[in-house]
Amino acid sequence: MAGSAKEGHWQKSEGQEESEVKVFTCSPPPSHQGLLSSHHHGYSLLPGSPLTLSLQGPRFCTQPCLFFNLANSFGNSPFMKLPTNYPIGTCHLFLTRTLTELNTGTASDQICDLKKSKTPYDLWCFLGAGPFPGIIDLFGSGGGLCEYRASLLAGHGFAVLALAYFRFEGLPDFLDDMHLEYFEEAVDFMLQHPKVKGPNVGLLGFSKGGDLCLSMASFLKGITATVLINSCVSNTVAPLHYKDMLIPSLGSDPGRCTINESGFLRFVDVWDNPLEEPNHLSIIPLERAQGPFLFLVGMDDHSWKSGFYAQIASERLQAHGKDRPQIIYYSGTGHCIEPPYFPPCRVSVHTVLGQAVLHGGEPQAQSRAQVDAWQQIQTFFQKHLNGKKSVPSSKI
């Protein structure tokens, strides 16, 4: 079989269709000297385009959006009306939100009344009557509520739900046993919301959030398109429960973790091979999914073997008579594929481990990959959620 899933580097085989795999390469010009400044600002690493972005608070959208928040109520009041000068960064404290104009960072006087829920939802919507194609956005094993990608996607005509699943208000501090019913509630919330265009939604998952999206697509109804950013094909970190079913976590050995010359942890060899006994039980049965997949893979991922996992997924789908997924491989690109013009994250202090972890990626290759991946995500969701065959190119 072309591109067979084996340990090591993946290479395109002769005669393989171009639609399945795209390797994104770049040759940076010698004159380029893109640099990063502080934690709070990033500069474009693309030659001749020095774009500066503030990274404080969810203010990245280039067009006005609606922001809805479902969290705990504030005191005894079912909602709070935010003054126009209220800091946007603390918005998740409130059960309901005012209209948020992200281009100015202020809130208007319009109150959006939403139903109560046990799950902390942050729903970003394009400003307008709607309804809009719906997407649920999940991040990785760092936990918490990450809103910036959802707010950016909303600016392109989507309703995007940023969903926390641990290390947030009312949620577990660590990933132990996980229950898919929690995520099923989020899907139901989206499909019932008047701003969301049914009858299905899409999923966008990064790292651990990616394998959760695979599980959601495989077992839950109402999901028609799934994008995975450097995801594993197996359930990872903690066992996953759904009704009377249990998917164990992929085996791992922390003793295989290495430390590079700079003192950064490298986890790529920690994880067991999903194809070996008994780890095959951890592989998610993605052949049960009702919609297509897009895998975005960094070929310099130092967190795990994302390319190997994507090829396992492709072979498994084809073995069950399903279409091959779209897989895009980005050379020189690490684990953290962010929206365009965000600083490439080669190393970060993991919020749970409290130690510096090497994610991989070369600055220019990573920056170019982030620009292309952002366009690929929009095109994929517009095609499968909104019936559009082409999407205008966008900077962010």
Question: What SS3 state is found at 23?
Answer: strand
Residue 120 to residue 167: CA distance in whole angstroms: 11
Cα distance between the two ends of the chain:
38
Instruction: Name the one residue in this structure whose structure tokens are 């897989």.
Output: 327
Active site residue 244: no
The answer to whether the CB of 296 falls within 8 A of the CB of 227 is yes
Among 122, 211, 301, 372, the one annotated catalytic: 301
Q: Catalytic residue among 193, 302, 335, 359, which?
A: 335
Residues 6+ away with beta carbon under 8 Å from 93: 71, 72, 74
Kindly state the tokens that stand for 69. Answer: 């928040």
53 CB neighbour count, 10 Å cutoff: 19
- SS3 category, 107: strand
**241 contacts: CB under 8 Å, gap ≥ 6:** 177, 178, 179, 180
The closest of 367, 291, 372 to 328, measured between CA atoms, is 372
Measure the CA–CA gap between 115 and 105, rounded to whole angstroms: 25
DSSP annotation string for 333-377: --S---STTSPP-SEEE-TTT-SEEE----HHHHHHHHHHHHHHH
320 in active site: no
Active site residue 207: yes
Q: Could you say which of 151, 207, 249, 314 is catalytic?
A: 207
- Cβ-proximal residues to 261 (8 Å cutoff; 6+ apart), any chain: none
Residue 363 φ then ψ, to 5°: -50, -50
- Which positions are catalytic? 207, 301, 335
